[in-house]
Structure 1
Amino acid sequence: MLNEGRLLKIIEDMTEVLENLKECKSVLEETPEEKNILYIEFGLKQIFVDFFIIVEHLISMILKEHKKFKIGIDMKQSLLILNKENVIYEELYLFLNEARLLKNRISHKYKEPSTAELIEFINSNIDKFDKVVDIAKKYL
């Protein structure tokens, strides 16, 4: 059984970060000409990275619960395992894999996505962010 206290903290953190992500995205869409927009753009990217780091913790816990965790397993492999185990369905698997690639581009500064690209990804997948939180809640 998953550590309930740790899982509750993950759900709390994911929910908070997701609210921040949505709010930051809205500010960027509503006020693109603001002089402080650079800070908001940076914030959006960091909030996105924060969300995915929390997702990585959740996935690690779920893999352990399903006795599929291995030391050194990467996120790409982890997502594939969870998809094959029917923990995440194909659409969510594709979303998380694309989010993983965006997170890497932001974190490692190579081919960093533009703010417009990130906002488009968030808008196209906003319901899937919430579905990740729902998966975490299923383990309570």
Structure 2
Amino acid sequence: MSKRILTVCIGNICRSPTAEYLLRERLASRDIQLGSAGLGALAGYPMDATALQLLAEQGIDGAAHRARQLTPAMLREADLVLGMEKNHVDAMVRLAPGTSGKIFILDKWLQGRDIPDPYRQQRPAFEHVYGMIAQGIDSWLRYL
């Protein structure tokens, strides 16, 4: 049973916080701690405005988010870690070598695709990524 779930990308302002807040919304009735972090986080920054807007359009408020730098302790404390790209998974395993059994790509149960980084792109790129993240999360729900 996953009681602590962590989502991870690079900057922790687009993909991983979107995944975190979508998980929060979908798992609201469950006793699960959710968080996100970045391998190269823009620590202290809020969520990207376009990512925030897409969540708001679904009735989800991500305004409280502030980017955090991923640490080995975060990986050890989590029960499940979901990375956005295969190279994120590899980097996390290198950062905390005993954690590989609980680190997976978000798209694992679908096509195993990397979820591209929409940072500094136009809204259509964010919409595409949002859809991929939502599908990835929905595919995990039966296992949580």
The TM-score, its normalising length taken from structure 2, stands at: 0.33
Comparing both structures, which one devotes a greater share of its residues to strand? 2
Say which one has the larger Rg: 1
Q: Which has the higher contact order (CA 8 A, sep 6+)?
A: 1
Larger helix percent: 1
